[in-house]
Amino acid sequence: MAPSSDSRRSLRFDTFELDIRARELRQGTQRIRLQEQPFEILRLMLERPGDVVTRDELRQRLWPSGTFVDFEHSLNAAIKRLRSALGDDSDNPRFVETLPRRGYRFIAKLDGPSDDTRADSPILPHVRLAVLPFTNLSDDPGQEYFSDGLTEELIAQLGATCRGKIGIIARWSSMTFKRTAQRARAIGDALQARYLLEGSVRYEGERVRITARLIDAASETQLWSESYERDLSDSCGLTSGRLSVQTDVASRVARALAGELLPPSSTTAATQQLRPAAYQAYLKGRYHWNNDGEAGIDDAIAAFTSVITQEPDFAAGYAARARARISLAERYRDVPRHELALAEDDARRALTLDPELSDGHLALGDVQRLLHWDWTRAEHAYTQALQLNPSNENALRSYALMLAALERPDEAVREASRACELDPLCLIASLAAVWVSYCVGDYERAIQRSRHVIDIDPERIAAHRLLAAALLQSGRAQEAIDALDATLEIAPQDPVVLTWLTHANAIAGHTTTAVAFVERVRSLQRYVPPYHLALAHVGLGNLDAAFVALEHASLDRDPMLTNLVVEPRFEPLRREARYANLLAQVNLTPRA
């Protein structure tokens, strides 16, 4: 059987290694520049060594319909660049053989998988499916939460049902195409998805009608379609007490794609029967959870609490509320420890009720990482979440952040890249990748990615902050200050922005301005995260005050304290004995 990049992180041949996740070609310790099209051509050939990769396949993969280029010239140029990178000769090839008018074939022997392939870290499948937002065809816009919730539930159910076989594109990227007029092929190209699931929800009196269609994106042909009608009293979609509409649709889509991918013995996760009112509250909670801002999180927590009150044994409700509370802790509305402790109760309750709930393990992993600083248990929880649902991009993102904090740069970059691959249009996933790049010292990459996010969403404060941090470490202090100044118009009272401005101005020698900013911080009538206050003190050279603030951050369980080892702005503290004591509290040991 031909080796597949789906079962490996890296592919080795001769003296070369193609890192699929990091998208790099290496020869020994040297990175070899390889542009996108030559990389994809090499990847395709390595997936099927000895087989012919036809010119038509390459056209469809790299220059799909609607791409206006000279195909022959572009393909020949890409092959030439690939051969140049490999030091190969078209007349006497060692790696890439040309078959005139047919295509190309990789003729060298592949070595075994890279040593860093982890058995407990699932590899993303090559075949991918995107669940597009289901359209609300009802006259009542108040029912939008139901169609959006249905979309998200299908993503979650398909991720678990198809694990290891089909990669499910995450919600954020799918939701980008809500009410779009783009054709299926264009959407498939943008999301790198072979299949699209689309559908609609219509209320007719006391009945709800749900239609789902499976589309082959490349050919824009419909492969499967089915409609479901339920009484509103049964709107949670239960059929003879077995499965909800979401699980039913997910299992039918899985069967439509099955064949070789999902053999008949594959099982579908059971779904708990809920009262209709509780189920609708759960969908509303998911709908609010995906709205930006604290108000959306508050509404989500209220909805999830309503679900749990009505259905005290509903595991997904506890897991969802746990994750919402973790998000509140990270937003610093109050002392983070309080929300993290409540999140732990919810996460443990969720896993008691359903030990195979991916989001339950994710929430527990976040709690172990942020509340207890138990890195071993956190990693176990994240890998459990990914074993249960390899398409859980939130687990990939959290895992990447933890790996970066533990100074495991290669793994962190790979997991962050996997999260972005599953959710290519998600700005939150992109920002996590920015932070990972910053933590591993790849400041230029962090700058590029931050600016990409800002181009898409100019008011995304976190992107401006991370851009400033990377610019500062690159010796471009004034540009860093300008990036932070831009956020003051968006959030003039944001304590994180103000403390970072204090630090940046102090580093740039603008002491008077820095002191003015820290005074603004002290005048705020809200919780000021002590980790970020410590950054301000470090910039001003007040190391005693910085250590006091970090001790408070430890007591408050400031989520950012996990980054103490990898945050370059804390370099002045590392010569102090107090720094080692602080690391011991957080269970961190710097690598030599």
| Angle formed at CA 89 by CA 85 and CA 92, multiple of 5 degrees | 150
pLDDT in tens, 312-348: 999 999 999 999 999 999 999 899 999 999 999 999 9
Instruction: Find the mean pLDDT for residues 3-20.
Output: 66
User: Among 117-126, 151-160, 477-486, 510-519, which stretch is predicted with the lowest mean pLDDT?
Assistant: 117-126
Cβ atoms 534, 565 nearer than 8 A: no
Long-range CB pairs of 180-188, under 8 A, 24+ apart, other chains included: 183/220, 184/215, 184/216, 184/217, 184/220, 185/64, 185/65, 185/66, 185/217, 185/218, 185/220, 186/66, 187/130, 187/132, 187/217, 188/130, 188/217, 188/218
Helix axes 375-388, 393-405, angle to 10 degrees: 160
Which residue type does 520 have? Answer: R
Query: Which region among 180-194, 301-315, 328-342, 467-481 has the lowest average model confidence (pLDDT)?
Result: 180-194
Count Cβ neighbours within 10 Å for each residue of 484-511 and write b for 16 or more, e otherwise: bebbeeeeeebbbbbbbbbbbbbbbebe
Whether CATH 3.40.50.620 fits 5-106: no
Question: Of the candidates 197, 199, 202, 256, which has an alpha carbon nearest to the alpha carbon of residue 229?
Answer: 202
CATH superfamily of 128-271: TolB, N-terminal domain (3.40.50.10070)
Torsion sign (Cα): 387, 392, 395, 400: positive
Q: What is the pLDDT of residues 502-549, one digit of tens each?
A: 999 999 999 999 999 999 999 999 999 999 999 999 999 999 999 999
Per DSSP, what are the bridge partners of residue 195?
129, 216
Element (H, E) at 230: strand 221-231
Q: Between these two residues, 65 and 197, which has the higher pLDDT value?
A: 197
Q: Delimit the CATH 3.40.50.10070 region(s) of the chain.
A: 128-271
**Does the structure show a pLDDT above 70 at 592?**
no
Is the pLDDT score of 261 beyond 70?
A: no
User: How high is the pLDDT of residue 29?
Assistant: 63
Q: What is the pLDDT of residue 239?
A: 33
Determine the Cα–Cα distance for residues 592 and 588; give it in Å rounded to an integer.
Answer: 13
| pLDDT value, residue 236 | 44
DSSP states along 542-565: -HHHHHHHHHHHHHHT-GGGGGTT
Task: Give the separation between CA 508 and CA 483, rounded to whole angstroms.
Answer: 14
Mean pLDDT over residues 564-592, rounded?
Answer: 92
For the stretch 278-300, pLDDT in tens is 777 887 888 888 776 677 899 99
Instruction: State residue 250's pLDDT score.
Output: 53
What value does the mean pLDDT take over residues 483-492? Answer: 91
Q: Between 10 and 38, whose confidence is greater?
A: 38
Question: Residue 481: what pLDDT?
Answer: 96
Which residues of the chain are in CATH 1.10.10.10 domains? 5-106
pLDDT in tens, 386-406: 988 888 999 999 999 999 999
What is the SS3 string spanning 50-67? CCEEEHHHHHHHHCCCCC
- Which amino acid is it at 190? A
Instruction: Check residue 526 and give its pLDDT.
Output: 92
**Residue 563 and residue 330: Cα distance in Å, rounded?**
13
Identify the pLDDT of residue 69.
Answer: 56
Distances (CA, A) of 590 to 240, 568, 579, 580: 57, 13, 11, 9
- 223 vs 404: which has the higher pLDDT: 404
Q: What is the pLDDT of residue 251?
A: 58
Q: Determine the pLDDT at residue 231.
A: 62
The pLDDT value given to residue 142: 67
Quote the pLDDT of residue 265.
Answer: 40
Cβ(245)–Cβ(150) under 8 Å?
Answer: yes
What pLDDT sits at residue 161? Answer: 67
The pLDDT of residue 47: 81
Contact 377, 352 (CB under 8 A): no
CB atoms within 10 A of CB 361: 27
Q: How would residue 550 be classed by pLDDT, with cut points 50, 70 and 90?
A: very high
Instruction: Please name the residues in contact with 406: beta carbons below 8 A apart, sequence gap of 6 or more.
Output: 375, 565, 588
pLDDT at 45 over 50: yes
